[in-house]
Structure 1
Amino acid sequence: MHQWFSARVILLWLQAVAVVAATSNSNQEIRAGLYGLERNHLEGRKTDHLQGKKCKAYPGDSDWPSSQQWQDFNETLEGALIKTVPEASRCYGNATTGDSPECQSLSETWGNSSLRIEDPSSIRSVLFQGMTCMPPAFAPNFFSINATGKACALGAYPEYVVNVTSVSQIQHAINFAREHDIRLVIKNTGHDFGAKSVGKGALSIWTHHLKEKSFNWYESKEYSGPSVKLGAGVQVHEAYALAKRHEVTLVGGEGKTVGHVGGYIQGGGHSPLTSIWGMAADHVLSIDLVTATGAFTTADPTTNADLFWAIRGGGGSTFGVVTSMVIKAFPQIKATTMRYSMSTGGNFTQDKFWEAQKAYVDNFEYYADLGYYSYYRIRHVNGQIFHDMTSWVAPNTSETVFRASIAPVVERWRSIGVPFEPIIREYDNFPDAWADGFPQEPWTWNMRQASRFFPRSVLSNNTTRAASFNAIREVFDAGANLIMFNMRNPPGSATIDNAVNPAWRDILMFAIMFVTWSPSDTPKYVTQLSRNLTYAWNPKWKALTPGSGTYMSESDYIEPDWQESFHGDKYPRLYEIKQKWDPEGVFYAQNAVGSEDWEMGETLLGHLPSQNSRLCRK
């Protein structure tokens, strides 16, 4: 066993084993004790002592729960309450130093997503947390020592985490947070880019160990066929493994360790299969969740239909805590994938690189309409342009057909002198194609991003496509890196009645710009990079795509007019549903529905709302 495993991590591992063993229980057993909670607790008592209170309670406030109240709460939870200790704290204090084996091991594995998601509070969006406890090798110079004067402070990590393994624990956590007016956050894996899983003085509901998964036949008025039921903690690789065992296909993400039914599906969820089957949220059949009153309920087309509509694309962490979903399963299909990388240098100049890219982008409409999906990156590396196609996916397509379809672009690239040696493979099922085509995602911590949809109407026109391509190159030349997707939503998907951003339905390109920094960079430099994203670069893309939008799960942390960008004309209905189901604001998350009613009192780098500050009603 690696030296970095602490006793606390071992305990969590043992708890996880116990949870996995319990996932074979029936749905009735999982809900055991559910209705033993007092009726007035389920419906939500009026908390008169909180009426008129403007800010959430924080440690040190007179209304913050006492140590005895936290102890009693833990007993109610049967010992599931964890007092947060930042993962990097092992590098600080009297017992250890940055040179200790424990700290060195942590530093060496800091980019390993499989390890980070096993910690109750670790997140990818640590910039917005304040980066208050990082391994010394990654501690940024551009943030001054935090207010406590310590090298490692809690910052915006939650005060306590509930390691939930049952619905009743979620109910108790919601009721406790509501009655004491404590900020409540929801975390599964921490893959979130927008700091929705943290908050100063918060109580966190950690759903990572809700691992129920099963294959079933589903019968309803709307659908009759195969389905899977997935608990909130099931990750994409676990869901695809289940699908492979039962010889079916699921519409899911490309990230291996991402949660399948958390923020991914609740935000809409694009997929390597989007071009043939649409968004992951389009195929949800039923949702189990706990609402702001502590009530456990189901949402489907006939029960709580408004919640069912909103959660499928309206965003996570704001309508309730989803405990599981039932999702449609498709027949098993074959797939062909292509991967490659290239770098400028020598005779392959940067102008030739962009000439080759233009030849590809000019065919985006053609490839999307074939049902293909591509995910690739263009980055600055040692003064050159490095480009890697993480995977170009052709669902339900043989290698022979795929090679014929890309032959014109490949021929054009060869004539330009593009140095690339593609790996093209055909698979008889999608899970294997996905596993080989998408390497495990790193746990990136030193980046900030912004993004935009480029619709068919823009890319199918020669003039506006050329202008868009030039704007993308212009942003890259100014210092941004790029992540690019070519996909569509299939014909007819715009008629699906859910909360998925309408702008998704006309997409041909999803473009992300991102910046990175090193710990030694100055505050001025990092601030300018961050401001460029929001105020200089992304406006260029928006000007070319009026009326479009972007993906809330991979967007600018301070996206201007986010309600329209993320939700289009569906936002008024989403806000109305939020007020109906959570009028007291029990659930809050950055840029989530209803978040405009709240504000944080401090900023980072002078312009980024700090999660390490009080959350108050406006």
Structure 2
Amino acid sequence: MSCFRAAAVAALLIPLLPIVGAQTIVVENATIPANESTIAPAVASVDAHESNSTADLFVGETLQLTDAVLANLTELELSNITLFSFQNESSSTETLSKRTIFGKCKTYPGDYFWPSELTWRLFNILLGDALIETVPYASSCYDSFENFDAAKCNFITNNWINASIYHTEDPTSVNAVLFQGSTCMPPALVPAETECSIGGYPAYSVAVRNVAQIQLAVNFARNLNLRLVIKNTGHDFSAKSVGMGALSIWTHNLKQTQFFKNYWQGSYYGPAFKLGTGVQAFEAYEAARQHGVTIVGGEGRTVGVMGGFLLGGGHSPLSSLYGMGADQVLSMEVVTADGRFVTASETSHPDLFWALRGGGGSTFGVVTSVVVKAYPKIKVTTMTYLLATGPSVTVDQFWAALRAFFDGFITYTDAGNYEYFRISKVGEGQFISDMGPWFAPGMSKAQLEELVAPLFAKFEALGVHVDPVYTEYDDYYDAWLASFPVEPFASDSIRQASRLFPKSNWQDAAKLNATFDAVKSVVEEGGYLIAFNIAAAPKGGYPDNAVNPAWRNTVLHAILASLWNVSNSEADIKAASDKLTFDWMQRWRDVSPGAGSYMSEADYIEPDFTQAFFGSKYPKLYRLKQLYDPFGVFYAHTAVGSEDWQMSEKILGNLPSQNSRLCRK
């Protein structure tokens, strides 16, 4: 170790010694316990009414890091308390200059500016023992972390793919494990695996329950140039919640809810909810049912609907009636990259408010709660049926029936309907499509039967008979719960991509022929299709926000998956992966030029992602990114501004590896 570095390390560690052994700390003239089993000492309680908030702050939002708190901590002569200070333009520029002496990359373990063990301990004390050192979810299947547990491993293995609820309860587990490096999968699922490592998972997570903890984490990451990620549930096709050596802000525990029977803000007057960003779909819908109203959320049960779902736009079984999830937002509470806690609404930081509603998660700040519109209780009728080749249905009849269904997409969305269906090849010359479900909010069984009667008449004329099953519900919650099972999760033998096909393709016979042929051709070659007949341009209009303009013109959101066996050779896996992006999806892009893709369910290496995910909104979003986050504190793969960064290594030759360094280009 050089004399310079030894002196620097000594200067960093010596001031820490008093706090490590201390039992109390003085904050705003109050003596507060300050050890790893007590509440966070770096907190000031702020009056819930003393803010620009459009609704009373939750208790956790009143607990904030303030300049006064930092001043008191500084008086304790903890020289490195500046690691937790708010962004100051001059000091931040100087700090950035110093920390990039050794390159343009984020700070990683082993780097000169990586925090010492004592610094992490101080951080944990200030957080109130909320810091979690990462132990991968499946580590109990190995000896690597000295926590082998056969029974626990067996449970995890049996529930790895088909029980996302367990992954969402873990501070670091995510859906897109392939891009993390698949470094700790249950060995029964990856027979060649012999050890477990952290890989691309974050090094530490903060299990946040109040604003102060988020502010401390943001300031700490910014001042040390640490990679910072945000995890709510880990639902995302692009692994935005992981990153080698990162510090993660885990928002899952922000579960507070508050209902307003009569909420008045701007031109809106009516029922509303304030929901913490940790609230998941099943919890949001349960709250709405309890109060006799309906709210717009996703179909997935464990999705964090007030987190990345909503920030990325958020499509819903109710979108054809009410629009996107982002369209429902009335205000948001958010910690920005400078560490400050602000309200974003039409009157407070309106540009930030515009960007947060559809501009993507992990980009402009850490949202702690959202106020959203609520709607009256609504009845729903669902319908399911199975269409498959077999003794009475030939391949030609199968595709002709599907084409008849496609022909009615505009009619169905104009009626406020949403169809969720799958199409796949199950053998040579064998295909299956299940409608699961046709979702008709606001309709009775008789009304839905009338709507689909022409379709089933066409089926019969083609010699195709299906047996539709109708169910009428008095409430959205009951229909949703019965229709959408817990979603699969965390497979490393799949890659997905998506396309938003425009309504104009249905208004031109030649374009519709080309669109249907492009969909048909990829399924015939083995692509697995999950699709939604949906239109997010409700008759009542929608607000000006950052939602991808392609959503306002679409009638088909189609997700395509390429699957392989984990025992396949790397060359075969790469071929399957490349086919998805450069062959199958290119066919879809060719028949929908200028359209787009849904960022949360998209190709990990979507070509020209800024156009596909953001369209004409991107230039404004990029300007706001530079305004609110000039130092790149928040990074997520394919998020706004991510094109200014690159990861140092790749998987399968062209998939950026989250298990690598993140550096400015």
TM-score w.r.t. length of structure 2 = 0.85
- Name the structure 1 match of 2:308: 263
Q: Deviations over 1:217-250 (max 9, x none)?
A: 3212221111001101000111011111111111
Instruction: Indicate if the aligned counterparts of 1:318 and 1:587 stay in contact, CA closer than 8 A.
Output: yes
2:508 maps to 1:458:
no
**Alpha-carbon offset, residue 423 of structure 1:** 2.1
2:494 maps to 1:447:
yes
- Name the structure 2 match of 1:172: 216
Q: Deviations over 1:445-485 (max 9, x none)?
A: 13211111111111122221111101111111122110111
1:356 aligned to which of 392, 396, 401: 401
1:195 aligned to which of 239, 246, 257: 239
For the residue of structure 1 that corresponds to 2:488, the secondary structure is coil
1:601 aligned to which of 634, 648, 664: 648
AA in 2 matched with 1:595: S
**Deviates most, 311-320 or 504-513:** 504-513
- Name the structure 1 match of 2:36: none
- Name the structure 1 match of 2:158: 108
Instruction: Indicate if the aligned counterparts of 2:364 and 2:629 stay in contact, CA closer than 8 A.
Output: yes
For the residue of structure 1 that corresponds to 2:86, the secondary structure is helix
Q: Distance in 2 between matches of 1:160 and 1:489?
A: 38
Provide the aligned length of Structure 1 versus Structure 2.
589
Structure 1, unpaired ranges of 5+: 1-14, 16-23
Instruction: Indicate if the aligned counterparts of 1:374 and 1:487 stay in contact, CA closer than 8 A.
Output: yes
Seen in structure 2, the aligned counterparts of structure 1 residues 614 and 140 have a Cα distance that, compared at 3 Å, is: farther
2:661 maps to 1:617:
no
- Name the structure 1 match of 2:111: 61
- Name the structure 2 match of 1:9: none
Q: Distance in 1 between matches of 2:637 and 2:390?
A: 42
**Deviates most, 318-327 or 114-123:** 114-123
**Deviates most, 490-499 or 525-534:** 490-499
2:504 maps to 1:504:
no
Instruction: Indicate if the aligned counterparts of 1:98 and 1:136 stay in contact, CA closer than 8 A.
Output: no
Q: Distance in 2 between matches of 1:96 and 1:313?
A: 43
AA in 2 matched with 1:215: F
**Alpha-carbon offset, residue 418 of structure 1:** 3.8
Instruction: Indicate if the aligned counterparts of 1:339 and 1:437 stay in contact, CA closer than 8 A.
Output: no
Q: Distance in 1 between matches of 2:557 and 2:108?
A: 40
**Alpha-carbon offset, residue 331 of structure 1:** 1.2
Q: Deviations over 1:308-339 (max 9, x none)?
A: 00000010001000101000111111111112
AA in 2 matched with 1:466: N
For the residue of structure 2 that corresponds to 1:179, the secondary structure is helix
**Alpha-carbon offset, residue 103 of structure 1:** 1.8
**Alpha-carbon offset, residue 357 of structure 1:** 0.4
Q: Distance in 2 between matches of 1:422 and 1:181?
A: 57
Seen in structure 2, the aligned counterparts of structure 1 residues 78 and 597 have a Cα distance that, compared at 3 Å, is: same
AA in 1 matched with 2:505: V
2:205 aligned to which of 158, 161, 167: 161
Q: Distance in 2 between matches of 1:277 and 1:589?
A: 29
Q: Deviations over 1:18-68 (max 9, x none)?
A: xxxxxx997363234413543782344522522554000111112111111
Q: Distance in 2 between matches of 1:388 and 1:97?
A: 43
1:315 aligned to which of 344, 347, 360: 360
**Alpha-carbon offset, residue 391 of structure 1:** 1.2
AA in 1 matched with 2:486: Q
AA in 1 matched with 2:115: P
- Name the structure 1 match of 2:177: 126
2:61 aligned to which of 16, 25, 31: 31
AA in 1 matched with 2:99: L
AA in 2 matched with 1:100: A
TM-score w.r.t. length of structure 1 = 0.92
Instruction: Indicate if the aligned counterparts of 1:98 and 1:104 stay in contact, CA closer than 8 A.
Output: no
Q: Distance in 2 between matches of 1:339 and 1:235?
A: 26
Instruction: Indicate if the aligned counterparts of 2:386 and 2:435 stay in contact, CA closer than 8 A.
Output: yes
Seen in structure 2, the aligned counterparts of structure 1 residues 97 and 521 have a Cα distance that, compared at 3 Å, is: farther
Q: Distance in 2 between matches of 1:414 and 1:99?
A: 57
Q: Distance in 1 between matches of 2:158 and 2:148?
A: 12
AA in 2 matched with 1:202: A
Q: Distance in 2 between matches of 1:209 and 1:301?
A: 27
**Alpha-carbon offset, residue 94 of structure 1:** 7.3
**Alpha-carbon offset, residue 115 of structure 1:** 1.1
- Name the structure 1 match of 2:34: none
For the residue of structure 2 that corresponds to 1:138, the secondary structure is coil
- Name the structure 2 match of 1:215: 259
Instruction: Indicate if the aligned counterparts of 1:231 and 1:324 stay in contact, CA closer than 8 A.
Output: yes
Higher RCO by CA contacts (8 Å cutoff, separation 6 or greater): 1
1:289 aligned to which of 331, 334, 339: 334
2:614 maps to 1:546:
no
AA in 1 matched with 2:482: D
Matches within 5 A, 1:567-586: 567-586=614-633
- Name the structure 1 match of 2:455: 409
**Alpha-carbon offset, residue 287 of structure 1:** 0.4
Instruction: Indicate if the aligned counterparts of 2:63 and 2:211 stay in contact, CA closer than 8 A.
Output: no
Structure 2, unpaired ranges of 5+: 1-38, 40-47, 49-54, 72-81
Seen in structure 2, the aligned counterparts of structure 1 residues 28 and 463 have a Cα distance that, compared at 3 Å, is: closer
2:500 maps to 1:468:
no
Seen in structure 2, the aligned counterparts of structure 1 residues 495 and 394 have a Cα distance that, compared at 3 Å, is: closer
- Name the structure 2 match of 1:517: 564
Instruction: Indicate if the aligned counterparts of 2:333 and 2:367 stay in contact, CA closer than 8 A.
Output: yes
Q: Distance in 2 between matches of 1:418 and 1:518?
A: 34
- Name the structure 2 match of 1:400: 446
- Name the structure 2 match of 1:10: none
Q: Distance in 2 between matches of 1:101 and 1:252?
A: 36
AA in 1 matched with 2:197: A
Seen in structure 2, the aligned counterparts of structure 1 residues 418 and 108 have a Cα distance that, compared at 3 Å, is: farther
AA in 1 matched with 2:219: N
Q: Deviations over 1:457-516 (max 9, x none)?
A: 111222211111011111111221101111112356776210011111111111111112
**Alpha-carbon offset, residue 97 of structure 1:** 10
1:136 aligned to which of 187, 190, 198: 187
2:122 maps to 1:72:
yes
**Alpha-carbon offset, residue 413 of structure 1:** 2.2
2:452 maps to 1:435:
no
Q: CA RMSD in A?
A: 2.1
AA in 2 matched with 1:337: T
Q: Deviations over 1:342-369 (max 9, x none)?
A: 4322232222211110110011111111
1:391 aligned to which of 437, 453, 472: 437
